[in-house]
């Protein structure tokens, strides 16, 4: 591979995520390592520099007692009885014949891990703090704790932590470095000398601290590098023995890539202290020095204690802020749920609460996604785009889902989203309510990086090698097409909203079921009464009509001076006939609501033809044209009911029409905005005419029983029961009916029925 053109796409610093940095087979040169088996305490490995510490070189297999005193061995056995991975510092007491080459015995850091007992020796001569410094450490830690406690803001706490660690450790630069969910991190607090450039506010890409290093930061909370220029010291292991796992080691050698990274920054020595919150790596206290620097174990322990204290304050502050925000939002949520629960109309109350819903999750807009289409409030995409988003984000009932970029995650063009970029989806999966979609607007922000985060690989003439960034000059980026991130509080409140809505919907469903049961009973009683009344009234009406007919015949023979009596008798006959028509209409309506529906797959054209025969037994008039446009195939309905429905609508379309040529169209098509429980779009049947139309102030009343929009004798008369019967039939089939009309422009009646499987 000789050119950048041949650089594989996989070559970048993410390869560091697979680097086994816990088994580097080497330690830093300022320490010495001896590894023993935990079962027999026999030597199985040691660092190459062991002869710089001991007068004689040890041999594999020799017991720990051949080098160390009984008291030291007893301390070691105590370590073995305790938790694995816990490092304890013990002053070495060697046997007389295993003399140390230094003036005083070293300090040993002892821990057990992976079936090995590791003894790491630290020379007191490398850097031994004076007694005054050691004695002052407890007081300095106490003062630091007081300063942490006195800070008023999180930003002030960040700076104070950096100041205190720098004061105790003596490093040139100390930074509080926080990780974000996306993986990258930023310097949020800093203490540094005046002669150095400040890094506060700079972001660093996730590849700067790969995953293996992050895992080790959770295990080993203090990590120091004395001198990046020093050569590492190899570890020798007994034949057949696996490499020594140095996850908890004080002197673990450094990854060559990390060494080069620090050199590129001009750093000579470093130390990091982990900040851990609930077993998660919140961030680091990162210390840099521009000369070699080694801290004693007491100073490292003091820094570790500072880190633990700082982590306690940081996480407590954030938790307090989070809990306060959560408590306030939950109080508002409970109030909103009470208002909706106590409202007479659920749908309207939910819509009226849109602004409060948005405030609960700090959103800029919300879509209440009903099955018939969304209701929008605030800043949202258009309804059609919202419906598309709902298909992706509300299709399951698994729980909340969130995105900060619908452009990246859903592949939507920014131009389609208006100002929205992020979404929080709350699925409800109710029969009529799919869920809620909360939207956040685009959040344009400028991120300052310590160098270009995209430059991660170096190509040389002899091939490709991984290399950390060479430049740490400030590099700015404008982040677009993203919203602010949905916080943990936002997601928790979102779950509260979901739980509250599910409870309200369940309660509403139970109330509706109870109301429907009562309405069904009342309707049944009303139908029974209407049927009985209309049926029983017809017999006396027939008798009345017959007597009026006979009376009119007799009146014909009376003298002309009784003309007024004749007219009154004729009026009685007309009123009796009108009464008979009304009773017949009432009987037809009652029959439309009685009996079981016999649902079958029906062909629309066939039913329309039968309805035409029902209207015009002697043949359809020449001036009336009925066109059928069936785009759906079979419809599931009761034959007699559908024929009655169509005959009423077609008869009205022909009746209320002043044109020489009457045009009536019966068409069907799928309602793609709705789905049945089986997932099938229902059928919309339309009956459209070129008739006289309906005034807007009459549209809401035309489906009422015996409600006419014209005089009783206009357009051939009628009872006004036909459209009430049509509505009754549609409702019995579980559908809806509506009309679009205006005077002089004709009418279009539309209704939904179930499609055939």
Of 242-251, 530-539, 736-745, minimum mean pLDDT range: 530-539
Strand order in the sheet with 203-204: 222-225, 269-277, 280-289, 173-179, 185-192, 203-204, 445-450, 474-479
Q: What are phi and psi of 85, to 5 degrees?
A: 85, -5
- Phi/psi region, residue 739 (left: phi>0; alpha: psi -120 to 50; beta: rest), is beta
Under the banding of pLDDT at 50, 70 and 90, the label for residue 517 is confident
The span from the CA of 473 to the CA of 178, in Å, is 20
Beta bridge partners of 464: 459
pLDDT digits (tens, 9 = 90+) for 414-450: 888 898 999 999 999 788 889 999 999 987 655 544 5
- DSSP state for residue 235 in the 8-state scheme: E
Of 141-150, 165-174, 415-424, 557-566, minimum mean pLDDT range: 557-566
Of 79-83, 151-155, 455-459, 548-552, minimum mean pLDDT range: 455-459
Under the banding of pLDDT at 50, 70 and 90, the label for residue 139 is confident
Task: Identify the helix (H) or strand (E) that includes residue 190.
Answer: strand 185-192
Under the banding of pLDDT at 50, 70 and 90, the label for residue 9 is very low
pLDDT digits (tens, 9 = 90+) for 571-622: 676 666 656 555 554 555 555 555 566 788 889 999 999 889 888 877 888 8
The span from the CA of 343 to the CA of 66, in Å, is 85
Find out whether 243 and 25 touch, Cβ atoms under 8 Å.
yes
Higher-pLDDT residue of 188 and 755 is 188
Give the pLDDT of residue 564.
72
Q: Which of 16, 53, 420, 484 is closest to 258 using CA atoms?
A: 16
| Average pLDDT of the segment spanning 203-232 | 84
The span from the CA of 516 to the CA of 492, in Å, is 35
Return the exposure string of 131-152: e unless at least 16 CB atoms fall within 10 Å of the residue's CB, then b.
eebeeebeeebeebbeebeebe
pLDDT digits (tens, 9 = 90+) for 476-509: 555 677 888 898 899 999 999 999 998 888 887 7
- What's the mean pLDDT when you consider all of the chain? 79
Higher-pLDDT residue of 37 and 726 is 37
The span from the CA of 199 to the CA of 481, in Å, is 27
Give the pLDDT of residue 5.
40
Give the pLDDT of residue 463.
41
The span from the CA of 247 to the CA of 645, in Å, is 81
Residue 465, burial from CB neighbour count under 10 angstroms (0-12, 13-18, 19+): exposed
For 204, the token pair is 């660093």
Find out whether 442 and 404 touch, Cβ atoms under 8 Å.
no
The span from the CA of 493 to the CA of 506, in Å, is 20
Beta bridge partners of 375: 368
For 34, the token pair is 């001896």
Span between the terminal Cα atoms of the chain, in Å: 62
From-to residues of CATH 3.30.450.20 in the chain: 31-125
Give the pLDDT of residue 464.
39
Higher-pLDDT residue of 240 and 522 is 240
Beta bridge partners of 237: 45
Of 218-227, 349-358, 382-391, 721-730, minimum mean pLDDT range: 721-730
| Average pLDDT of the segment spanning 59-80 | 86
| Average pLDDT of the segment spanning 197-224 | 82
pLDDT digits (tens, 9 = 90+) for 649-668: 898 888 888 888 999 999 99
Give the pLDDT of residue 369.
93
Contacts 24+ apart (CB under 8 A), 449-452: 449/202, 449/203, 449/204, 449/205, 449/474, 449/475, 449/476, 449/477, 450/199, 450/202, 450/203, 450/204, 450/474, 450/475, 451/475
From-to residues of CATH 3.30.565.10 in the chain: 596-757
List, in order, residues 6 or more apart from 596 with CB less than 8 Å away. none
From-to residues of CATH 3.30.450.40 in the chain: 1-21+128-231+250-327+444-482
Interhelix angle for 722-732 vs 563-592, to 10°? 10
Under the banding of pLDDT at 50, 70 and 90, the label for residue 301 is confident
Task: Identify the helix (H) or strand (E) that includes residue 45.
Answer: strand 43-47
The percentage of the chain sitting over the pLDDT mark of 90, rounded to a whole number, equals: 28
pLDDT digits (tens, 9 = 90+) for 682-721: 889 999 999 888 887 777 777 776 555 555 555 555 555 6
For the cut 60, the answer to whether the pLDDT of residue 240 exceeds it is: yes
Give the pLDDT of residue 465.
42
Under the banding of pLDDT at 50, 70 and 90, the label for residue 12 is very low
Find out whether 474 and 265 touch, Cβ atoms under 8 Å.
no
3-state SS class at 180? coil
The percentage of the chain sitting over the pLDDT mark of 70, rounded to a whole number, equals: 74
Residue listed under structure tokens 């109309």: 345
For the cut 50, the answer to whether the pLDDT of residue 469 exceeds it is: no
Higher-pLDDT residue of 672 and 119 is 119
Of 48-62, 290-304, 431-445, 578-592, minimum mean pLDDT range: 578-592
The verdict on domain 1-21+128-231+250-327+444-482 having CATH code 3.30.450.40 is yes
Under the banding of pLDDT at 50, 70 and 90, the label for residue 84 is low
Looking at mean pLDDT, say which of 292-301, 474-483, 504-513 comes out highest: 292-301
3-state secondary structure 413-435: CHHHCCCEEEEEEEECCCCCEEE
Return the exposure string of 194-214: e unless at least 16 CB atoms fall within 10 Å of the residue's CB, then b.
eeeeebbebbbbbbbbbebbb
| Average pLDDT of the segment spanning 151-164 | 93
Give the pLDDT of residue 3.
37
For the cut 60, the answer to whether the pLDDT of residue 568 exceeds it is: yes
> CA 675 from chain center: how many Å?
24
Q: Which of 94, 45, 91, 89 is closest to 70 using CA atoms?
A: 94
The span from the CA of 87 to the CA of 304, in Å, is 13
Q: Which CATH code of 3.30.390.50, 3.90.380.10, 3.30.565.10, 3.30.300.30 fits the domain covering 596-757?
A: 3.30.565.10
For the cut 90, the answer to whether the pLDDT of residue 359 exceeds it is: yes
Find out whether 222 and 304 touch, Cβ atoms under 8 Å.
yes
The span from the CA of 222 to the CA of 169, in Å, is 12
3-state SS class at 147? helix
Looking at mean pLDDT, say which of 8-22, 63-77, 161-175, 447-461 comes out highest: 161-175
Looking at mean pLDDT, say which of 2-11, 140-149, 265-274 comes out highest: 265-274
The verdict on domain 31-125 having CATH code 3.50.50.60 is no
Give the total residue count for the chain: 757
For the cut 50, the answer to whether the pLDDT of residue 13 exceeds it is: no
Radius of gyration in angstroms for the set of CA atoms belonging to the chain, rounded to a whole number: 43
């Amino acid at each position: 591979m000789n050119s950048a053109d041949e650089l594989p796409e996989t070559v970048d610093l993410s390869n560091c995520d697979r680097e086994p940095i816990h088994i580097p087979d080497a330690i830093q040169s300022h320490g010495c390592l001896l590894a023993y088996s935990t079962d027999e305490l026999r030597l199985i490995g040691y660092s190459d520099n062991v002869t710089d510490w001991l007068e004689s070189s040890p041999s594999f297999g020799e017991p720990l007692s051949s080098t160390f005193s009984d008291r030291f061995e007893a301390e070691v056995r105590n370590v073995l009885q305790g938790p694995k991975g816990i490092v304890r510092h013990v002053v070495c007491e060697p046997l007389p014949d295993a003399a140390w080459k230094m003036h005083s015995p070293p300090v040993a850091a002892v821990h057990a891990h992976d079936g090995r007992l590791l003894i790491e020796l630290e020379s007191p001569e490398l850097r031994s703090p004076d007694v005054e410094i050691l004695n002052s450490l407890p007081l300095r830690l106490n003062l630091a704790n007081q300063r942490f406690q006195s800070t008023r803001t999180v930003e002030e706490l960040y700076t104070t932590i950096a100041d205190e660690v720098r004061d105790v450790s003596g490093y040139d630069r100390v930074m509080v470095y926080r990780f974000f969910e996306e993986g990258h991190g930023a310097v949020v607090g800093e203490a540094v000398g005046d002669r150095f450039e400040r890094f506060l506010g700079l972001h660093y890409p996730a590849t700067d601290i790969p995953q293996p290093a992050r895992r080790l930061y959770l295990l080993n909370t203090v990590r120091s590098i004395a001198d990046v220029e020093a050569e590492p010291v190899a570890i020798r292991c007994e034949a057949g023995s696996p490499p020594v796992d140095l996850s908890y080691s004080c002197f673990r050698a450094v990854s060559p890539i990390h060494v080069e990274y620090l050199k590129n920054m001009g750093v000579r020595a470093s130390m990091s202290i982990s900040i851990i919150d609930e077993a998660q790596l919140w961030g680091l206290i990162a210390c840099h020095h521009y000369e070699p620097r080694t801290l004693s174990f007491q100073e490292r322990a003091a820094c570790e204690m500072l880190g633990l204290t700082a982590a306690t304050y940081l996480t407590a502050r954030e938790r307090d802020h989070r809990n306060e925000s959560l408590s306030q939002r939950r109080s508002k949520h409970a109030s909103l749920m009470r208002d909706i629960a106590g409202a007479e109309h659920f749908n309207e109350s939910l819509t009226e609460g849109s602004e409060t819903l948005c405030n609960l999750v700090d959103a800029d807009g919300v879509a209440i996604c009903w099955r018939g289409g969304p209701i929008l409030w605030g800043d949202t995409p258009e309804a059609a785009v919202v419906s598309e988003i709902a298909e992706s984000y509300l299709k399951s009932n698994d729980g909340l889902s969130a995105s900060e970029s619908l452009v990246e995650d859903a592949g939507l063009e920014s131009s389609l989203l208006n100002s929205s970029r992020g979404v929080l989806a709350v699925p409800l999966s109710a029969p009529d309510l799919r869920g809620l979609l909360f939207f956040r607007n685009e959040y344009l922000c400028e991120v300052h990086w310590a160098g270009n985060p995209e430059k991660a690989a170096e190509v040389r003439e002899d091939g490709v090698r991984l290399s950390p960034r060479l430049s740490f000059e400030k590099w700015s980026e404008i982040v677009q097409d993203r919203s602010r991130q949905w916080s943990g509080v936002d997601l928790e409140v979102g779950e509260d909203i979901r739980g509250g809505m599910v409870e309200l919907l369940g309660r509403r469903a139970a109330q509706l079921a109870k109301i429907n049961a009562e309405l069904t009973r009342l309707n049944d009683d009303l139908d029974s009464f209407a049927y009985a009344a209309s049926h029983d009234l017809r017999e006396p009406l027939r008798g009345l009509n017959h007597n009026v007919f006979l009376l009119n015949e007799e009146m014909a023979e009376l003298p002309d001076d009784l003309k007024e009596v004749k007219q009154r008798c004729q009026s009685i006959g007309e009123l009796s006939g009108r009464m008979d028509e009304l009773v017949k209409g009432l009987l037809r309506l009652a029959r439309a609501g009685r009996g079981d529906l016999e649902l079958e797959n029906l062909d629309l054209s066939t039913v329309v033809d039968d309805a035409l025969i029902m209207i015009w037994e002697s043949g359809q008039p020449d001036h009336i044209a009925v066109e059928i446009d069936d785009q759906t195939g079979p419809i599931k309905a009761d034959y007699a009911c559908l024929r009655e429905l169509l005959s009423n609508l077609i008869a009205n379309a022909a009746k209320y029409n002043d044109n020489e040529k009457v045009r009536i169209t019966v068409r069907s098509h799928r309602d793609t905005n709705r789905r049945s429980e089986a997932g099938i779009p229902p059928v919309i049947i339309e009956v459209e005419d070129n008739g006289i139309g309906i005034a807007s102030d009459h549209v809401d009343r035309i489906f009422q029983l015996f409600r006419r929009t014209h005089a009783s004798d206009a357009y051939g008369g009628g009872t006004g029961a036909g459209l009430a019967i049509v509505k009754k039939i549609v409702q019995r089939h579980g559908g809806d009916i509506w009309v679009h009309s205006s005077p002089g422009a004709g009418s279009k009646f539309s209704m939904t029925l179930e499609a055939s499987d």
